[in-house]
Amino acid sequence: MPRIKIKRTAPSVDMTAMSDVTFLLLNFFVMTAVFKTPEPIPIDVPASVVTEKMPDENFAMITVSNDGKCLLSFAERDVKQQTLDIMIEKYNIRLTPEEKEKFLALETLGVPIRQLKQFLSLSTDKYLDKSFNPGIAVDTTTNMSNELFNWISTARKVNYGLHDNQLKILIKADGNVKFPAVSQVIETLRNQKANKFSFITSLKSEA
């Protein structure tokens, strides 16, 4: 008897389920992604091998640009708001409720406090313009002239009063900045006994 030939067919895989899973994963990564906040002055941080993660809350970050300008940002809105109220009273600055809301919407503060009202009157597209962010006044004293000292000192007291813990201090300095500019920031912190702080760096690649 002749042998019965079985018709061979190519195997097929239903990719519908795989497509659904891929689409769900894509949605998940898009919804959970944390986008980098635009900065008025781009900072090229130095590399290191330290892998400690940057905190997500309860911190103030001092940014030092390559030309020595100091900028400041706060993680907590309530700390930022109360710190502003104390600072404008200390420096005798008058801000409207609308101007205060604009300040709270800022990601980074980069102007002397006496220029703050004028800065907030600008259109929002200029907030990230480097030319309109001359930096916060800083020196090695504890006087009113050292505005960075007063911003940090006030924020630390406010944070402790609101959250009952110490404010974490981060320094994000450009890799090309000259040491005296960073030294002023460190001295400002030491003058208020804030001796524990961290530097923001990028991860050095293994090569």
Bridging pattern class, strands 70-74 and 59-64: antiparallel
The pLDDT of 9-30, averaged and rounded, is 67
Residue reference for tokens 């890799």: 175
pLDDT bucket at 16, cuts 50 / 70 / 90: low
More confident residue, 38 or 189: 189
Contact 170, 62 (CB under 8 A): yes
Which of the 8 DSSP states describes residue 126?
G
Report whether pLDDT(65) > 90.
yes
pLDDT bucket at 55, cuts 50 / 70 / 90: confident
The pLDDT of 15-20, averaged and rounded, is 66
Residues 117-162: tens digit of each pLDDT: 999 999 998 998 999 999 999 999 999 999 999 999 999 999 999 9
Whether the model pTM is above 0.85: no
Extents of the domains making up the chain: 47-203
